[in-house]
Structure 1
Amino acid sequence: MFEIYLILATCFLLSICFLITNNLIYIYHQLKFLKKIEETINIMSIENQHILYIAKIYINRKQWLDCITILEFYMKQVRINELIILVQYYNYIGLCYQSVNIYTIATKYYLKAYNKAPFIKQTLKNLVNIYKLSGDIESASHIHQKLTDLNENRNT
């Protein structure tokens, strides 16, 4: 009986060690990437994909103000032909405000993303969610209908 207990305890501890090791590796890669960005000579020339990755790191760490600050700063650097990047910036900023329960500002940023590119599913989903959270069921159902129509058009 004692052997079974040891086997079960070992299996449990091995799974915990595996999860901890994976998280440590993930954190190591994040820190390595941030260090590489920090060593960049011209801070204004950081690629947009790197900025989005940094924003995701801040979101995962729940550092909302840092995420908003970096995205607002680099939003001014986005070229006109990089519309999708700008929409992602707006969506991430809206997510940050939504996470701290500032729904009016989150709605403003989601609507900016929607106005730039009205056919991006993630933006429509974010709008439906924020309207539901703020109690505007009519607007949520209207946007949800647009999302449904968009899904039906892509399937046909």
Structure 2
Amino acid sequence: MFEIYLILVTCFLLPICFLITNNLIYIYHHLKSLKQITKKSMINIDNKDILYVAKIYINRKKWLDCITILEFYMKQIRINELIISAQYYNYIGLCYQSVNIYKIATKYYLKAYNKAPFIKQTLQNLANIYKLSNDTESANKIQNKLTNLNKNEDIYH
């Protein structure tokens, strides 16, 4: 009887240990990457590193930290890097959307759209925020643009 109890407890605890170990490995890799990034000069960090850090903050639901780092580095971007700034605006909009501040999220998604109107993720986020704000007319317009973009992409590929 005691053996059956031990087998049942082991079967229950093994998946939990697996999940905890996976999360610890995930956190370790993120911290290791952050440590490598911070060894660089904080002013001259690559945009891909900034976006990586922003994704980490988003995954950890650190919305204010993500917004702060993106706003700070957005001022460092050169004017010709429109796609990078569009990605920054998109992530900031995502942070505001996550805390249910839809009006400001819409503002940032529109800024991202104005910088680079061909990025699918921005169009999808903009359509979603319009749906959440009960603006179905604007959501349908953006959804049509996204559909046209997908059709054009299929034609050229």
Residue 28 of structure 2 is matched in structure 1 by 28
The CA deviation string for residues 75-105 of structure 1, in whole angstroms up to 9 with x for no partner, is: 1222334322211101000001111111111
- Take 2:127 and 2:46, find their aligned partners in 1: how far apart are those partners? 30
Q: Secondary structure at the match of 2:78?
A: coil
Matching residue of 1:15: 15
Q: Which residue of 2 aligns with 1:141?
A: 140
CA RMSD of aligned residues (A): 1.7
Cα distance in 2 between the residues matched to 1:2 and 1:145: 64
Distance 1:81 1:8 in 2: 61
Name 2:46's counterpart in structure 1: 47
For the pair 1:37 / 2:37, whether they are aligned, the reply is yes
Q: Secondary structure at the match of 1:45?
A: coil
How does the TM-score come out when normalised to structure 1? 0.90
* 1:150 Cα offset (Å): 1.1
Superposed displacement of residue 3, structure 1? 5.2
Q: Are 2:106 and 1:107 equivalent residues in the alignment?
A: yes
Residue type of the alignment partner of 1:120: I
Distance 2:149 2:33 in 1: 37
Residue deviations 1:8-36 (CA, integer Å, cap 9, x gap) = 44233222211111110111111122222
In the other structure, the counterpart of 1:61 is: 60
Paired letter, 2:14: L
Q: Deviation digits for residues 35-73 of structure 1, max 9, x if unmatched?
A: 223333x21101111111111111111111111010001
Deviation, structure 1 residue 141: 0.6
Shifted more, 27-36 versus 129-138: the winner is 27-36
C-alpha distance in structure 2 between counterparts of 1:48 and 1:132, whole Å: 31
Give the number of aligned pairs. Answer: 155
Aligned to 2:75: 76
Q: Which consecutive residues of structure 1, in runs of 5 or more, have no partner in the other structure?
A: none
Offset, 1:6: 4.1
Q: Which amino acid aligns with 1:11?
A: C
Instruction: Give the deviation of 1:123 after TM superposition.
Output: 0.5
CA distance in 1, matches of 2:148, 2:11: 49
